[in-house]
Amino acid sequence: MRKRFSADSYVQGILAGDRIMLGRAITVTESRLPEDKKLAAEILTRILPKTGKSVRIGITGIPGVGKSTFIEAFGEYLTLQGMRVAVLAIDPSSKKSGGAILGDKTRMEKLSHNVRAFIRPSATGLSLGGVARSTREAMLLCEAAGYEVILVETVGVGQSETLVKGMTDFFLLLMLAGAGDELQGIKKGIMEMVDAIAVNKADGENEKTANQAVSEYQNALHLFPAAESGFQAKVIACSGLYGKGMDTIWEMIGEYQKITKLNGFFLKNRQLQNADWMHDYIRQTLADLFYENAEVKAMLPAMENAVREEKLLPPQAANDLIDKFFKSQIFMNKS
């Protein structure tokens, strides 16, 4: 059974930069046990004054684009500049076991042994869009532990781009060249969200094709209206395998921070993200209360069967379950 430390132990360990205690604290925030939720709230409240000083970078891209290789190269570059880097790698969950089906720590072997880096793979669990439900809490804990750069890697599916954009300062999209029409299949939504596009694997025979893709993506970005941040999104070629372009990307992120802090967008964006976090937490908490309710649990299998067999419309089944939930809550309050 996992040992539960006191809030004092967690806070002291985190502020001292203890990576083991940091990992354990993130595990507490991921737990759904009532006692862990209470402990997590106390830890987060106490470390809050030490948070907010990092730059939070969201990194996404389709599977096979080389996210892990890129992040390892970028992380190694940053640590060589004297910075401490935390990587929150969000793995897709197995629907059968609930566990993560990838292993970013094994795919970033060099960075995982770097004393200035911290890598935390987390399963998405039941969260939509490839972002773990406790990613925001993990970011705060990492900031309190002294990590100046937080890299959030998503699985790059569905809504993950929107969600990671909504919790980071800078949003980087990794793309590949040489896969047919470079603009085919690019969704307008994600192109409007990005702060930069990095065409990865720009090495060897692929370098010329990657440089051509950079021009095509840059032309595409010019078709969109100016971003609220005031920063003009850029496109560069890079190679995670050879560490090419890491300095240029970091300089670009620095330029973004300078512009957005001067025009007030940086602070405004974080304030809006905190409000979104509150609403997300409300939705998650209500869903937990609903599915943990004993009467809902007892009624749910029969309702699911009725829906599968088309004996009951899904909205009606949902309304019946919600009515059962609220009636049980009223009964509990009266008793």
Q: Which of 131-135, 201-205, 214-218 has the lowest mean pLDDT?
A: 131-135
| Angle in degrees, CA 142, 145, 147, rounded to 5 | 60
102 pLDDT higher than 90: no
Which of the residue ranges 81-90, 98-107, 202-211, 270-279 would you say has the lowest mean pLDDT?
98-107
Residues near 334 by Cβ (< 8 Å), separated by ≥ 6?
Answer: none
DSSP string, 251-291: HHHHHHHHHHHHTTHHHHHHHHHHHHHHHHHHHHHHHHHHH
Calculate the alpha carbon distances from 210 to 147, 172, 176, 200, 250 in Å. Answer: 32, 17, 7, 8, 20
| Amino acid symbol at 255 | E
* 245 confidence band (pLDDT: 50, 70, 90): very high
**Mean pLDDT in the chain?**
87
Cβ-proximal residues to 260 (8 Å cutoff; 6+ apart), any chain? 169, 229, 230, 231, 266, 269
Are residues 5 and 37 in contact, defined by beta-carbon separation less than 8 angstroms?
A: no
**In the chain, where does DSSP find H-type helix?**
7-15, 19-30, 34-47, 67-80, 104-107, 109-112, 135-144, 160-165, 188-193, 207-221, 246-262, 265-292, 294-308, 314-334
The answer to which of 2-6, 112-116, 118-122, 136-140 has the lowest mean pLDDT is: 2-6
The per-residue pLDDT for range 258-309, each reduced to its tens digit, is 999 999 999 999 999 999 999 988 998 899 899 999 999 999 999 999 999 9
Contact criterion met (CB below 8 Å) for 199 and 61: no
- pLDDT tens figures, 32-43: 888 999 999 999
Residue 28 has pLDDT above 80, yes or no: yes
pLDDT at 257 over 90: yes
What does pTM read for this prediction?
A: 0.88
HSE-up of residue 281 (Cα within 13 Å, Cβ side): 14
Reduce the secondary structure of 163-185 to three states and give it as a string: HHHCCCCEEEEEECCCCCCCCCC
Give residue-wise pLDDT tens across range 170-214: 999 998 886 544 444 455 667 788 999 999 999 999 999 999 999
How far is residue 62's CA from residue 184's CA, in Å, rounded to a whole number? 14
